[in-house]
Structures are given as C-alpha cells and as structure tokens.
Structure 1
Amino acid sequence: MWRWIRWLTLVLVALFIASFLPWSISSQAIALPDSLPAASPPESMRVSALPTGTMHSSAMLAFRGGNPLENRDFSMTAVLVQHPRGDLLIDTGFGREVDDQVKLLPLLMQLTTDYDKTTPAAEQLITQGYDLKSLVGVILTHAHWDHVSGLDSLRNTPVLVPTTEQAFISDGGDNSALARQLSADHLKSYAFVNKPYLGFAQQFDVWGDGSVVLVPAPGHTPGSVLVFLTLPSGQRLALLGDLVWQLDGITQLAEKPWIARQLIDEDTDAVRDAIAHVSAIAKKFPQVKLLPAHDAKAMGSLPVYPSTLR
C-alpha cells in the first residue's frame, strides 16, 4: 500500500516540477522582413472591445513558471472591427448560457477558476443602438467554447474559420462541441493564400487593404489564427487568441503549464514554434501591440464600445 502511495507521490511531484520548469524556446532563427507590411486602412475604420466577463486564477495556471501566489485575471472579450465594407467581430466572449457551459469544463479547470460575467457582446451592441445587420461575420481565432459562447445571440451572422478549423469543428470532438452546436448553420470557411506576412508563409487579407489580415498559427487547435489589424492612425494590433494566455508567454517564451497543454493544446510543438515567431516579431517591431485573448491587462487597454481606436 505504502509503495503505491510513494509511487503516486513521486509521479505527482514529477508532473508538478515539469509544469513549471522553463522550456527551451528560441526566437533567434525566425526570418522576418525589414519593415512592417504595407496597409491602407480606410479612415472610417474603428476598433473597440466588448468585455463579457473575467475568469480568475493564478499565474501558476496561466503560463509555465508562473507564481502560484500571484492572482491573474483571464479576460473574455470580443473585439469589434468597424470597416466601411462590413463590420467584423473577432471572437465572442461569454454568451447567455455561460453558467451551464462552465459546468462542462474538465473538473480540474472548474476547481481552479472562478468567473464573473457581464452582458453578452451582441446585447451590448444592441443596447448602444448598433444594428447587428452591420456585422458581416464573426472571425474566430479558434473554436473553443469561451470564444464561441456568445454566438447564441448571433444566430444569423456568418462564422468565418479556415478550412482546417471547419474540419476541427465538424469532427465531433468535445473541444469543439459548442462551436458545432452554435455555428452549424452559418459556418463559412476561407482559404489562405501563399503570400508571406511577417514571416508567416500564408495570409488571408479580409478586405484586401491590409487592415485585417489573418495568418495560420496551428497548435492550440488545428485552425488557430492570429489577427493583425492596422488602424488609420498607423497603430498595429496583433490579436493572439490562445497562443498564450498572458503576455508573459511571449515576453518570457513560456508555454502553458503542462496540465493545460494536455487538456487543450492539439500540437504543443506547433504552439512553441508560433510563440517563438511572435516573440521575434515583438522584438523587431515593438510598435505592434500584442493582445492575447485572455490577458485582462492587455485587452483592457482597448477602448470599450462605443469608444473606439482609430
């Protein structure tokens, strides 16, 4: 009996240590262009945030090597991009049924997080007098539940994903079950073109003016994307989805803790490669503002609709 207890204790200690030791990720070998890609965003383009809630946890569960005694907030925020050719919502944050959806999370995640919710993104827009018909699509950085939850209020809006993420949603797995339920009738796929963008081999320029450019960053899910925005002022934003949960993941080259990677990352090697790539971009082009989807401090720097960045 004691032999099994000692064995189990050693396994748990080993897993704990493995969760927090640094991993060798290097951004030194990433080839980047000499300048940022050209873009000509229209003068009327605007960007704003729609916060829908916050999860509360610790830095230990936010990134590898995080302090277990340091509290961290995980934002659940949709980003509205207003463009004369049609408005886009990037991710959706929490929807109306979030209380029931949280109960479907792995038990460990339920036990180690607490959350607050506000008003779903679509309802915030309606309250401010926004016409939802102006939305031509919801761009998902990936199809996990906390990024699609708010689709329950956007049943008539197309949901845009790359073909690889469409397959991920359709394959019947638990991690895409909610996306399959909420977007089945309005899912539309797009294909990347073989044109480099900041060192990525492919891109999808939504409006053809460089204002909203998507690049593939598989790993967290097979079709995860990064969203690069260029505003009329020249400001550059990079929406990182769940490549990392907190900006520390980029600045410290730190992936998610071991247990989180096992639960939700589809390809950890691909995630490490993308972290190294984005870290290299951050070093060479510090004017690009990095916004991990769940970094409350970073996402909180965006003005809340109806206030906007321009």
Structure 2
Amino acid sequence: MSYLIGSFNIRDFNFSNKSSDGEEVKRDFGKIADIIIKENFDIVAIQEVNAEIAIKHLTYILNKKRDFLHEWDYDFSGKAATTINDPEGYGFVWNKKRFRLLELPNKNNPTYYNCAGGKTLLRPPYYGRFTARGMRGGTNFELRIVNIHIQDSTYERERIAEFNVLVKQVLPRICDHQELSVQNEMMPAYTFLAGDYNLRLDKGDRAVIRIESITPTNYTGRNRYYKTVQEEKTSLRQAKEQSTIDDCYASNYDHFTCEMDLTKKLFLDVDRVEPLTGYFADEESPGKMLDSYRKKVSDHVPIKISIDLK
C-alpha cells in the first residue's frame, strides 16, 4: 500500500490581493485544489497560512471536486510566529478516505510542539498524528507529520541553528512519543519533518544541509542518524522574461527529514511537483507561466514523498 504526503508553502495564504512585500496576487483556490487532487496527495502540510478562512475555503473547493475516493478535512494551527506582526500559521488538509486523525486522550491533535527546543524557534513546529487504520484497505500504522517553516533570516547561521534544534531536539522526541496500543499490539509510528527549511540541500562541499546528517548524543544517550531529502529547486524567481523552465527556479528550500532507520522499513520516493508546465501550460512562455503561477498559487512549488510499506 502506497501513500503520498505533500508539503506546500503557499505564500501569504489568505484572500488578500497583495503579498506581505506588496506583490499583487489573486489566489486561485480552484487551481490549488486541482494540484492537490491531480497529484493524488493523501495529506498536505501547508506553510504560511495567514487566515483560517483560506484553508477552510480550500477544503470547501476540494470537496466540491470530490469523488468516491476523496473527501477532505482540514486543520489550522492559529498564529505560529512569536513575533507580533507575523500572522503566519500552519495547516493540514487530508483525504478522509485514506487517513484519519488519531484520538489522543487529553491531548489536542494536531498541536504545537513547544517543549524542549521547540519553544526557542521563531515558528514552533506544528505536528499531526494520522493513521490509515480503519480506512478501506488501510494499514495498521501511525504517521507523524511535523510541519515546519524555518525563519527567513538574513543570517544563514540562524537558519542552520533552527535546523539543528529541529533535528537534534524536536524530531527525536516526537519520534519517541509512545506508540499507541491497538488490540494489545503496538502500532508502528513513522515520523517526518516536512516544510520550508530556507536552506539548501546538496551532496557537494558547499552544502548547507548534508544529505545524511548525524545527530550527536542526544537526550536518550545514543547517536541517531537522520536523512534529509528532496534536492530539486522549489522556490521561484520574480517573473521576468524567462525563456526556460529552469530559469524560473531559485533555490531548493523545501525538504523532508526522517530517521535513517525508516529506509529499512519503508520504500520512500521523493520529488517536486512541476506545476508550471503541468497546470499553466496554456501560457505562451515560461516567464508567463511563472508570473501566472506566482499570482494565483505561490512562490514555491509543492514537494511530495511516496511512502510504501515493505
């Protein structure tokens, strides 16, 4: 059984006609819904949700397009940023025919992670715990998605410091949350960071994040190994007269991170969505595709990870 998880930074996601830096935008909720449905996502972690009404309306549009395989629900985090003037929050949308939220006694789900290093971040991570158990054809496992957006600081060292907190403190603790008992058997849990890291991933000497990063001795007293994936560029340049699709892309900022051990338990396949040619092909040039996409959708493209149980 295969499941597809997405991460999507939808810049300043609300009903405003201007982005935070004054760029004219007009979000096309139908187009965003088309991308989610046609890419066959089961769960999408969304960053930069500035108002609940935006993700609520997106879910409404998704359900207008639903069929017998899809029925959508959403969750909104509320304001994430610790700074007064930043309205940004997180959101999840998921296909209720494939996943449901776990019911946790005396706990909210999804919820912010404000323990340990989480409370030191500009935007504390927001994580949801989902399961396919009980769904038609579903598998007995738990999926923990930690929705993150590392600060867009001028100083790269500050962004790297947040990444280190997420991987060395937050991720291990969420991985180690007690697995839930189902009929006296433990339901295995698989945990992923997903989001906009504002950091480049590469294999070369100048990489900001290595493909495989080691977490030194942590609170459990043992070394742990993590893998960060998705090397394709995902942030977009300002629209000019770009003549090729490659010219439209700026940096590879959007990634997933998981424990190395998961690669022994799961088949993982990672890629970016190519929405410029996939959903704006009627525009006459790459520059026009880029301009239309930035105004109607975002300045990032979605990424996806396919999870197949071995």
Tell me the TM-score normalized by structure 2.
0.31
* Higher helix proportion (structure 1 or 2): 1
* Higher strand proportion (structure 1 or 2): 2
Tell me the TM-score normalized by structure 1.
0.31
